Structure 1
Amino acid sequence: MFSHDELTPPEREVWAAFPEGRRVDLRTGTPEDDDVAGGGRWGPERTVRAAVIAALVLGAGTAQPGVAACLKLSGARISGHLDLAGVEIGNPIWFEDCWFEEGVDLFGASTHSIAIVGSRVPGVEAGSIRMEGRLDLRRSRLESGPASPFHRSVTALSLINAHVSGAVSLNAAEITAPEEWAVSAGGLVAEGGVYCRDGFVAHGEVRLMGAQLPGGLFMNGARLERPGPRGVALALDNAVASTLEFSAGFTADGTVRLRGARVSDNLTFEGAVLNGPPDGHGPSLVAVLTQAVDFDFTPARRPSGTVDLRGAQVSYLHDSDHSWPDVVELDGFVYGSIKVAAAGERREAVARRDSVAHRVAWIRRSPGYSPQPYEQLASWYRKAGHDDDARRVLLARQRHRRRTLHPAGRLWGLLLDVAVGYGYRPWLAALWLLAFTALGTTVFGTHTPHPAQSGPGPRFSALVYTLDLLIPIGGLGQRTGWYWTDAGVQRFAYLLIAVGWLLTTAVVAGVTRTLSRN
């Protein structure tokens, strides 16, 4: 407890105003004098000790009957370390345009709403806090400092395992910890959502791993710079949220990592800029095993690094011609529908004339060969009623697979492709049959064969003889009834027999493969 004589004039003013919930404003009204950046030069007339504030909010100030006590302080220099760790704070706290000499420690506290608005603070430790209300850090500048007995870590803002019943507002805030974590909020529960809009800037990694965000995460227009040695700008691994918005100029100079995140509604990167790690090595987006209903991946320009969607599942995918970088990991990526953004409109991707070629080229951006992306795309075309396009995709899959086989396998695959398009173009066999039938009829029609037996027999027909050679099953009676003394014609006949067997084998193999996989 502080006596009246122990308090400075501004502290007496705060002490008297607290029970009535009145604001104490120590600002001069002159912009250059009230600039928080110069708060270190503010004198005793604007200085309030952190220990006095702690004493007030812990019960030293007597509340007036019928009035809610509240600490409201503007334009003050807070000297010393504000240590409220592990305590129960029964009244809201509001700081505006204040300059803190040392960090604020709220670790494990139970409290109502806390606002530190437009202020400069060397770190806020709020891990394991239980807050009935909102945490408001709008327009504030938070900077990490070296770990000390009064500062638990080098994180500028710690919300590890915190539970906030309202929103966490970081709009227009600037948080700096370029060598470590600007925000460390693993396990955070923010029922009202987290808001990082209106020019929010983070210098250092923002970590929300395992966070529960039923109110969503909104980073429209935010800038994540200088991600630190790991190259990660934002980590949302295994987070659960209603909405994740990275749009309207959202910029990340590092990897955005959403591994295992679950989004019950929208996940959007519309108009975002994903630059990837500054050193140029590493992915721009990692969304392995991510789940979302609506995935809008229409960034302002092509991401500079890899986009990894392996095992992700979305109901609706939105993309554009400049959505995808040179390398896209798509193995296991499942989607229900694709819409393309073009000329300010969104329409089904199957409406494009070059839809299949465009999508196959998209799949080919994946390193190596995997059948699942082709099968997923073909499944979507079939559901959309485009069976011909589905077959084109599956044919492209077989051609891609052929490149991975040994030479004999590649040769056999090429034969299947040329003969029947791996079973997806069976009409090719008919064309080959017609071509060789015409050729054989012409060749055999210009030469005279000899009967295999003396006496009457079937009349020679060049057309029927050719078909008898090409069709290996059954017989039309011509092949065994005639022979040739011309060696060239005899070799041509053997060629037709071989072609017939090859075409038949290719048709059977192609059709069997098609039926077994579809």
Structure 2
Amino acid sequence: MLSYEELTPPERALWDAFPEGRRVDLRTGDPDDDRVAEGGRWGAERTVRAAVLAALLLGGNGTRPGAVAGLRLAGARVSGRLDLAGARIEHALWLEDCWFEEPVNLLGASSQTLVITGSRIPGVEADSACVEGVLDLRRSSVESFGHSPFHRVSTALSLSDARVTNGLLLDGAELHAPGGCAVAAGGLVLEGGMFCQDGFVAHGEVRLPGAQLPGGLFMRGARLAAPGPRGTVLALDNAAASTLDLSDGFVANGTVRLRGARISGTVTFAGAVLNGPPGGAGPALLGTLMQAVDFDLTLARPPAAAVDLGGAQVSSLHDSEHSWPDVVELDGFVYGSLKTAGPGTRGEAVGWRDSVAARVAWIRRCPGYNPQPYEQLAGWYRKAGHDDEARRVLLAKQRHRRRTLSPAARAWGHLLDLTVGYGYRPWLAGVWLLALTLLGTLSFSTHTPTPVQPGEGVPFQPFVYTLDLLMPIGGLGQRTAWYWTDGALQWLAYLLIAFGWVLTTAVIAGVTRALQKN
């Protein structure tokens, strides 16, 4: 138990100010002397023991009538470990430009608003803590406190299973845990927003798996400089949020993982840079099974590694020429609409220059062959009333599929493509029929064939005779009434019969395939 007599002058000033909530400012006013990074050199005149802070927060000095007690301290060196694990803190804590010798332990604590701004802290451990207010670490430098019984890797800010009834403010903060977790907040319940903007930098993974963020996550302009042990810089696996704003200069030098995340509003990467893990050890964006209303991937430049959206579902997809890397995974990706941003504009995908070719090239970036991305795109075009574009996409699907077939099946596929475009270009059969009819009519008109029964049957007509050869079923009476003694013309007749069967079979097979949407 601390006695007033053993307190140092700055500690006595803080002790006396606490009941009225007055701020004690130990800064000198000289910018060089007040640099927090040099706080380890501050002397006894600016040093306050962590035990004194803990004693005040736990009721060591009573309140005064008509005043709101609170601990407000600026420009101090905090010696020793501020250990409030499991404590119930009834008073607000406001620390500014302070330098901590040891980590802050709030494990399982219950507190009012906690504000530690512009300070240097060797780690904050607040797993399972409950903050009835704001947790504010703006402009602070938080370093990793190493391994603990709850963390297998070094961690700077730990908020696993914590609950904060208002916002988590990390604007301008810099968190250092290279190779570990800059933020470990699995299961965090945050009723307000989480703000990591205005120069926020994380050296290590920001882990928020299963977090509940109804106020949204805002990381505009943030820089996730170094990945964690898995090559990940941001992990929101199975998290739920209203908004995910990773825009306006957001830089990720590792994988951004949104696997199974449920975003009730917008996910935006507008103007972001996704560099992926060093050496291409993983994807730049992993959004498998993600759900969102509006998904904006109009990046500042193409991602340096793969983008995986397999099984994701979004209502609207915004993209641009900078959105996609060389490898994308789209199998199972479902979207309600496509909106493509041109130079300074945004518009519907339908109507932009050669959109079908560009979209098919987008799908072709997927490894291997999967029919679903083609069918999804064709369904979008059909829904928009562009049936011709839908047929072009489905034709591209069949051509891609053909590469996976056996040689015989590929040959048949080429024949279907050449004759009827797999049923999506049935007019090709008409072109072939017209060309073959013209060839036969001109060739057969140069000679007169020999009648099968002289003096009987219909007169020879080259045009009708050619049509009769091309019709595999039924007949017009010409083919059975005449035959050729000229070998070349007889072979031409055989070829026209064969082409007739091929065209008929191709039309039936192609149309059947198209109707089945296979």
Q: How far has the Cα of 1:406 moved from its partner?
A: 0.7
Q: Is 1:14 matched with 2:25?
A: no
Partner of 2:359: 359
Partner of 2:300: 300
Distance (Å, rounded) in 1 between the aligned partners of 2:193 and 2:256: 19
Partner of 1:464: 464
Partner of 2:208: 208
Residues 448-480 of structure 1: per-residue CA shift (max 9 Å, x gap): 211112332211111111111101111101111
Partner of 1:154: 154
Distance (Å, rounded) in 2 between the aligned partners of 1:266 and 1:293: 6
Partner of 1:89: 89
Q: How far has the Cα of 1:401 moved from its partner?
A: 0.7
Q: Is 1:512 matched with 2:475?
A: no
Q: How far has the Cα of 1:66 moved from its partner?
A: 2.3
Question: Does the C-alpha gap of structure 1 residues 416 and 151 become closer, same or farther in structure 2, counting only changes over 3 Å?
Answer: closer
Q: Is 1:276 matched with 2:265?
A: no
Aligned residues of 1:287 and 1:308 also touching (Cα < 8 A) = yes
Distance (Å, rounded) in 2 between the aligned partners of 1:468 and 1:495: 13
Aligned residues of 1:437 and 1:467 also touching (Cα < 8 A) = yes
Identity of aligned residues (%): 70
Alignment of 1:93-172 (within 5 A): 93-147=93-147, 154-172=154-172
The farther-off stretch of 346-355 and 421-430 is 346-355
Aligned residues of 1:144 and 1:156 also touching (Cα < 8 A) = yes
Q: What residue ranges of structure 1 are gaps of 5+ in the alignment?
A: none
Partner of 2:496: 496
Alignment of 1:19-418 (within 5 A): 19-147=19-147, 154-418=154-418
Distance (Å, rounded) in 2 between the aligned partners of 1:304 and 1:147: 32
Q: How far has the Cα of 1:150 moved from its partner?
A: 12
Paired residue secondary structure (1:31): coil
Residues 55-92 of structure 1: per-residue CA shift (max 9 Å, x gap): 11111110111221111010011100000001100111
Partner of 1:421: 421
Residues 235-257 of structure 1: per-residue CA shift (max 9 Å, x gap): 11111000000001000111111
Distance (Å, rounded) in 1 between the aligned partners of 2:6 and 2:385: 83
Distance (Å, rounded) in 1 between the aligned partners of 2:41 and 2:152: 27
Distance (Å, rounded) in 1 between the aligned partners of 2:152 and 2:37: 24
Aligned residues of 1:105 and 1:151 also touching (Cα < 8 A) = no
Partner amino acid, structure 2, of 1:460: F
Partner amino acid, structure 1, of 2:382: R
Paired residue secondary structure (1:33): coil
Number of equivalent positions: 518
Partner amino acid, structure 1, of 2:423: G
Distance (Å, rounded) in 2 between the aligned partners of 1:152 and 1:84: 22
Residues 367-404 of structure 1: per-residue CA shift (max 9 Å, x gap): 11111111111111111111111111111111111111
Residues 139-198 of structure 1: per-residue CA shift (max 9 Å, x gap): 000001333699997211000001000000000000000021111011111110110000
Distance (Å, rounded) in 2 between the aligned partners of 1:194 and 1:365: 35
Aligned residues of 1:81 and 1:150 also touching (Cα < 8 A) = no
Distance (Å, rounded) in 2 between the aligned partners of 1:127 and 1:152: 14
Distance (Å, rounded) in 2 between the aligned partners of 1:126 and 1:148: 12
Distance (Å, rounded) in 2 between the aligned partners of 1:159 and 1:245: 21
Partner of 2:475: 475
Question: Does the C-alpha gap of structure 1 residues 133 and 152 become closer, same or farther in structure 2, counting only changes over 3 Å?
Answer: farther
Distance (Å, rounded) in 1 between the aligned partners of 2:166 and 2:46: 32
Q: Is 1:445 matched with 2:445?
A: yes
Aligned residues of 1:103 and 1:150 also touching (Cα < 8 A) = no
Partner amino acid, structure 2, of 1:62: G
Distance (Å, rounded) in 1 between the aligned partners of 2:56 and 2:153: 27
Q: How far has the Cα of 1:484 moved from its partner?
A: 1.2
Residues 272-311 of structure 1: per-residue CA shift (max 9 Å, x gap): 0101112233211000011110000011111100000101
The farther-off stretch of 451-460 and 40-49 is 451-460
Paired residue secondary structure (1:350): coil
Distance (Å, rounded) in 2 between the aligned partners of 1:153 and 1:455: 102
RMSD: 1.4
Distance (Å, rounded) in 2 between the aligned partners of 1:2 and 1:468: 113
Q: How far has the Cα of 1:353 moved from its partner?
A: 2.8
Deviating beyond 2 angstroms after TM superposition, the runs of 4 or more aligned structure 1 residues are 145-154
